[in-house]
Structure 1
Amino acid sequence: MRKTAALLLVSLPLALSRPVQAQAPVHYDLAFPNAVHHEARVTVTFRELPAGPLQVRMARSSPGRYALHEFAKNVYDVQATDSKGQALSVVKPDPYGWNVTGHDGTVVFTYTLFGDRTDGTYVGIDARHAHLNMPATLAYAQGLEQRPAAVKFQLPEGWTVASQLKLEAGGTWTAPHLQYLMDSPTSLGPQQVRSWQEAGRTIEMQVLHDGTPAELDAYVANTKKVVKEAAAIFGGLPPYDFGRYTFIANYLPQTSGDGMEHRNSTSLTSSRPLRGPGAINNLGTVAHEFFHGWNVERLRPQDLEPFDFQRANMSSNLWFAEGFTQYYGELLLRRAGVHTDAEYAKEALSGMVDAMLNMPGPKRYSPVYMSQQAPFVDAAAAIDPNNRSNTYLSYYYIGAANALALDLELRSRFKTDLDTYMRTLWQEHGTQQNYAPAKPYTLRDLQRVLGTVTKDTAFAGQFFRQHITGHELPKYTELLAPAGMLVRPARAGQATLAARLQFNPDSTAMLGTTLLGSPLYEAGLDREDVLLKLDGRKPTSSKEVQALLAAHKPGDVLPVEYRTRGLVRTASVTLQEDNTLEVVTYEDAKRPVTRAQKKFREAWLNGKTK
């Protein structure tokens, strides 16, 4: 047996007998001769190949996304040649790739790439810039995933490169292997750069925007505060692989709103300018994505490691990876001084608590279940209707709402906090090797560490059974009271239909999915039914319907005429009290605040840096 194995090893091509890092890198060359029409020309050179077909593929999924996106749909004009420029046979074995045969150990693979959506998932190319998510941009070869990669950009005049890739001599950008390459978004254009040192690391913001330098300076000043507050939670910044973290920001008018975390960078896209309310909204994405530099990029769930580019990646832990990050993204804005206590309660806590207590989904299914639904909801495209309004709450919201509850309970009962929990997880599971987590966590690990932090394994087990694998709702009124915050009805006494209405030019209104237990649901009306008359009046506009409801009180019964699947019918609808909830400070509620409540709130919400 050993002799046979030795003979086989000798017969392998020289390239495959060498260490992976010594094998010929995969070379990429990207040019933009037709950028005005959203096209790039991509050339990939594979050298020192073993005999046999080269299987070239486009990714079907992307790190930070959990659904299938089928990036091959935007690739065409595919050609392949050998080292002498001779054309090679290219055959499509499936919708996602190409098999190249007859090569001499080298394949030069070229294609045209179309992209006109600037966000964290796709590709946006035009005369002003190119925003590239690498799985949507670069083809790769199966079996060569561990080889280094080298990327060269043929830049139009005035364009520069923003990327977490490593810049080498001669303007080539490199990655140690495919996983890192695919996790490295890149923006090309006339970047405006702001760079600073934080705890021995270089932090840089490379921005495309139409605003003024002063607006960018003010935005960066707030970003610096967020960076400091995030580092304070974990006791310092991560050891970024090349000593640098890059905010890759595109705030041009044609941009779609998104934020996408990456190992040493984040892709930030929004059409909102860096002034007024838009700047604060954009900064919320900055805080969320920067926190991901710890939580999900390095402190990573085992069921996402390694990322598989050819299938949807399901995790049971997105309630933590995304949801706890959502909680901290909002909290960081408060600790950085961007929001006041009252604004934090109104802008962040109200939405979390209201969604958790009033939406049907959290009453029926657990955060683990919501996490497992990500491949169906995370920008996944489908044309058939669904019932998610009644069965689902985003793992962002359900995770953030549970993070809030746990933080408050830790502070009240155990004289510790969620910061300590996150820091302990980081210490136990934050070790890295080969640009990846050395010890990714499991659901059981999250529970175990909670038991360590509280010194109460029974509590940890109960919390996970009730709130993480189960769907018991937290008692927010009790949890928020020690902080001098009140959960109350936002529209007490007001009558509502609790319905989404789309008003039509003919003075009718089409229903969205009716919520479980709502007045129209109970009356038998459903999605795409058309309201013809409500209490004898046509529903001409939102203003008219609100005026009609204001003239009634909860419990009133109104006649409704509607059209459903071609039939005109009537029903009686019993109005309900609007159950929308809000969180306010005791000060805003005109309630007295004790010294203990102020101390509790300050320890929770005040900044941790000087």
Structure 2
Amino acid sequence: MRKTAALLLLGLPLALGRPAAAQAPVQYSVAFPNAMHHEARVTVTFTEVPAGTLQVRMARSSPGRYALHEFAKNVYDVQATDSKGKALAVNKPDPYGWDVTGHDGTVRFTYTLFGDRTDGTYAGIDSRHAHLNMPATLAFARGLEQRPAEVKFELPQGWTVASQLRPDATKGTYYAPHLQYLMDSPTSLGPQKVRSWQEQGKTIEMQVLHDGTDAELDAFANNTKKVVKEAAAIFGGLPDYDFGRYTFVANYLPQTSGDGMEHRNSTSLTSNRPLRGPGALDNLGTVSHEFFHSWNVERIRPKDLEPFDFERANMSSNLWFAEGFTQYYGELLLRRAGIYTDEQYCQEALSGIVDAMLTMPGPKRYSPVYMSQQAPFVDAAAAIDPNNRSNTYLSYYYIGAGNALALDLQLRQRFKTDLDTYMRALWKENGQQQNYAPAKPYTLRDLQRVLGQVTKDTTFAGQFFRQYITGHEAHNYEQLLAPAGLLVRRAQAGQATLEARMQFNPDSSATLGTTLLGSPFYLAGLDREDVVLKMDGRKPTNAKEVQKLLAAHKPGDIIQVEARARDGVRTVPVTLQENSDLEVVPYEQAKKPVTKAQKKFREEWLKGKAK
């Protein structure tokens, strides 16, 4: 080292000579002096700050969400002081943050946060609880992202903390090794009810806010245990959770919005449905889906999402796998855990997948890769202009699940293997090696390569990806499901339909939503916001009246429709079609004979794997 360089380094703050993880942690304090009005007061203390401007920012996006959410919009009353309490200059260079100057190496940055949406994306605060998604809650400083963080929650009486953050009882704080982990750690504050158990040497815990009984929570936790066992059986064991613990951070209160959001060692579960009746099964489906994510997407992670960028929209070409295959397994785990019967699994899972894949316009036009790339525009993204997604898009959840189903059945029929084996191979190749983040995040090419290894047929793997993943060919589900004794059929065969969404108006007219490609109204030249005045000479008063009208006709009949469009009132002929809705049912339900081979195939596919 040259002498001049050595002297220059001696003049720099000592912190710059140490790795970021060894530098002074970023310290947060979160208090709730005005919780009844949905406010928190947050203080962030940055110490050992290099000279110059400190750029403080709020995240614009959130892990597991891909659109921009602009969390800075809910931040106000911003102040900054130095170590002596002296007020510092705070300037806004853009809508998302604040530049602080004149500090003495310490910046104490304080703000009020408003939050009244309890879900996996935002912050929900009231006198009863606080459910905090960290990107919506905590500001950060550019250049200090690799420093550890400590969070202290100033809790109202009776509240406790549910979080994957590591507790430090001596300090009364919660620890994250760096910003990526901190922002990936949703936290629920309130009078938690806790259910905890050991599974394969790991602690699994449910920390729950709900209005129900302890018996309802016990039953829900027992079903969750079954799901956890079945998920672990697919991969041959649980992941090595960073702090030896996995937490279901659950909020089932009336003011809650329905959502589930995956994280490395926890999941955020929110719903206003109770843990009884149909709500319990709906909530358990989210549990199953999100727990599978602790492998798929959190550890088996696409390279184009690693690391997550909190200051822009994040696009991935692989959500068909990360979310879609998880969607498939989330429902399959409920069947393997004995929570669904075969009939329920067909009704609740397979029918929706097959119907969407074969009857919606989107998958006929675009590939799963393309659908994945649309996430920044569709995943809770906000916009006020109309779009044509009814005709151009199918969720990567559905198109991915449809391909997972087809691949699983092809692997079983053609290669004497299964999708479980494929997932285990990907886990070993791209998931097991971790250090608070995946050591080998995957690419699209990796997914194809591992499929070739599992099948020992690289030609098949290449063809599958070309036809169905980067391409958009349709699978023959009727043929694929037949060996399991499952039938694809019209759900309402012979019934006439308009295949339309209609909003019924007080004057007994009906306003059309976006008309689907190839549907009767589409072919007749009618579109969204056109108002149907009469159908077959009658006013479309309500849905019941329209159904009565359709029941008097058969597919192929032509009815006259009077409509007010943008070019005036006109009457057009509309040809009714047969209802295209599809369903999947067991042969037994359809009164078809089932062979022993079909029963065996179905059992090997759907039976529980946990020992």
Q: Provide TM-score, normalisation by structure 1.
A: 0.99
Match of residue 395 from structure 2:
394
Secondary structure at the counterpart of residue 228 of structure 1: helix
**Structure 1 residue 247 and structure 2 residue 248: aligned?**
yes
CA distance in 1, matches of 2:394, 2:8: 54
Range with bigger deviation, 559-568 or 131-140: 559-568
Residue 227 of structure 1 aligns with an amino acid whose one-letter code is V
Write out per-residue CA displacement over residues 300-357 of structure 1, whole angstroms, 9 at most, x where no aligned residue: 0000000000000000000000000000000000000010011101110000000000
Shift of 1:582: 0.3
Q: Which residue of 2 aligns with 1:77?
A: 77
Question: Matches of residues 24-173 of structure 1 in structure 2 within 5 Å?
Answer: 24-168=24-168, 169-173=170-174
What is aligned with 1:506?
Answer: 507
Which aligned pairs between 1:253-402 and structure 2 lie closer than 5 A? Answer: 253-402=254-403
Give the superposition deviation at 1:171.
1.7
After superposition, the C-alpha distances for 1:539-575 in whole angstroms (9 at most, x for unaligned) are 0010000000000001111000111127212111000
Equivalent residue, structure 2, for 1:17: 17
* Matches of 2:319 and 2:580, distance apart in 1: 28
**Superposed CA offset, 1:416-465 (max 9, x none):** 00000000000001133430000000000000000000000000000000
The 3-state SS of whatever aligns with 2:93 is strand
Q: CA deviation at 1:5?
A: 5.2
Give 1:269's aligned amino acid.
Answer: T
Whole-angstrom CA distance in 2 between matches of 1:59 and 1:4 = 40
Please report how far the alpha carbon of residue 19 of structure 1 lies from its aligned counterpart in structure 2 after TM superposition: 1.9
Residue 196 of structure 1 corresponds to 197
Distance 1:492 1:225 in 2: 38
Question: What's 1:403 paired with?
Answer: 404
In the aligned structure 1, how far is the partner of 2:190 from the partner of 2:388? 42
What residue in structure 1 maps to residue 229 of structure 2? 228
Identity of aligned residues (%): 83
Q: Do structure 1's residue 420 and structure 2's residue 439 form an aligned pair?
A: no
Distance 2:338 2:237 in 1: 20
Q: Distance between the aligned counterparts of 1:290 and 1:7, measured in 2?
A: 53
Question: Unmatched 5+ residue regions in structure 2?
Answer: none
The 3 A distance-change label for structure 1 pair 298 and 534 is same
Give the Cα separation in 1 of the matches to 2:593 and 2:57: 64
* 1:10 CA drift (Å): 3.5
Query: 1:132 is aligned with what amino acid?
Result: L
C-alpha separation between the residues in 2 aligned to 1:431 and 1:342?
Answer: 36
User: Relative to 1, partners in 2 of residues 1:143 and 1:477: Cα closer, same or farther, differing over 3 Å?
Assistant: same
2:341 and 2:4 map into 1 onto residues whose CA distance is 72
Aligned to 1:537: 538
For 2:432, the equivalent position in structure 1 comes to 431
Q: Using a 3 Å threshold, how does the CA distance of structure 1 residues 601 and 102 change in structure 2: closer, same or farther?
A: same
1:259 & 1:61 partners in 2: Cα distance?
16
Deviation at 1:7, TM superposition (A): 4.9
Q: Which amino acid in 1 is paired with 2:574? A: V
Q: Where does residue 490 of structure 2 map in the other structure?
A: 489
AA at the equivalent of 1:365: Y
Query: TM-score, structure 2 length as denominator?
Result: 0.99
Residue identity opposite 2:110 in structure 1: T
How far 1:380 sits from its partner (Å)?
0.4
Contact map agreement 2:239 2:432 (CA 8 A) in 1: no
In 2: Cα distance, 1:208 partner to 1:506 partner: 45
Question: For this pair of structures, how many residues does the alignment match?
Answer: 610
Counterpart Cα distance in 2 of 1:370 and 1:9: 51
When residues 5 and 474 of structure 1 are mapped into structure 2, their CA distance, relative to the original with a 3 A threshold, is farther
- Deviation, 1:609, is 1.4
| Cα distance between partner residues in 2 of 1:358 and 1:9 | 67
Displacement of 1:6 = 4.5
> How far apart are residue 505 of structure 1 and its match?
1.0
Q: SS state of the match for residue 437, structure 1? A: coil
For the residue of structure 1 that corresponds to 2:291, the secondary structure is: helix
Secondary structure at the counterpart of residue 170 of structure 1 = coil
Deviation string, structure 1 residues 457-512 (Cα, Å, up to 9, x no partner): 00000000000000001000000000000000001110000000111111011111
Q: CA deviation at 1:12?
A: 2.6
**C-alpha distance after superposition, 1:269-326 (max 9, x if no partner):** 0000000010000000000000000000000000000000000000000000000000
Q: Give the whole-Å Cα distance in 2 for the aligned partners of 1:248 and 1:372.
A: 29
Distance in 2 of aligned mates of 1:56 and 1:586: 61
**How far is 1:9 from its partner?**
3.5
Indicate yes or no: 2:566 matched with 1:565: yes
Instruction: Kindly provide the CA deviation profile for residues 364-394 of structure 1, in whole angstroms up to 9, marking residues without a partner as x.
Output: 0000000000000000000000000000000
Counterpart CA distance in 1 for 2:510 and 2:306 is 47
Which secondary structure does the structure 2 equivalent of 1:93 belong to?
coil
User: Tell me, what secondary structure is at the counterpart of 1:589?
Assistant: coil
* 3-state secondary structure, aligned to 2:423: helix
Q: Supply the distance in 1 between the matched residues of 2:40 and 2:350 (Cα, whole angstroms).
A: 44
SS in 2 for 1:161: strand
What's the counterpart of residue 577 of structure 1?
Answer: 578
- C-alpha displacement at 1:11, in angstroms? 3.5
Whether the 8 Å contact between 2:408 and 2:419 is mirrored in structure 1 is yes
Name the aligned partner's letter for residue 295 of structure 1. N
Q: Deviations over 1:42-94 (max 9, x none)?
A: 00000011110100000000000000000000000000000000100000000
Question: What's the counterpart of residue 458 of structure 2?
Answer: 457
What code does the residue aligned with 2:290 have?
Answer: E
What amino acid maps onto 1:192 in structure 2?
K
Q: Distance in 2 between matches of 1:474 and 1:445?
A: 23
CA distance in 2, matches of 1:350, 1:567: 41
Contact 2:195 2:205 (C-alpha < 8 Å) held by counterparts? yes
Query: What are the within-5 Å matches in structure 2 for residues 570-609 of structure 1?
Result: 570-609=571-610
Which residue identity does 2:416 align to in structure 1? K
Q: Distance in 1 between matches of 2:3 and 2:493?
A: 83
**Matches of 2:3 and 2:370, distance apart in 1:** 52
State the one-letter code of the partner of 1:361. Answer: G
Contact 2:299 2:434 in 1 (8 A): no
Residue segments in structure 1 that go unaligned for 5+ positions in a row: none
Hey, what's the Cα distance between the residues in 1 that align with 2:2 and 2:486? 72
Residue 192 of structure 1 and its aligned partner are, at CA, apart by 0.2
Secondary structure of residue in 2 paired with 1:406: helix
One-letter amino acid matched to 1:23: Q
Partner deviation per Cα, 1:80-118 (whole Å, 9 max, x = no partner)? 000000100000000000000000000000000000000
Partner SS for 2:390: helix
Provide the rounded CA distance (Å) in 1 between the counterparts of 2:219 and 2:434.
Answer: 37
Q: CA deviation at 1:222?
A: 0.2
Whole-Å separation in 2 of the counterparts to 1:591 and 1:431: 45
- Letter of the 1:553 partner, please give it: K
The aligned residue for residue 186 of structure 1 is 187
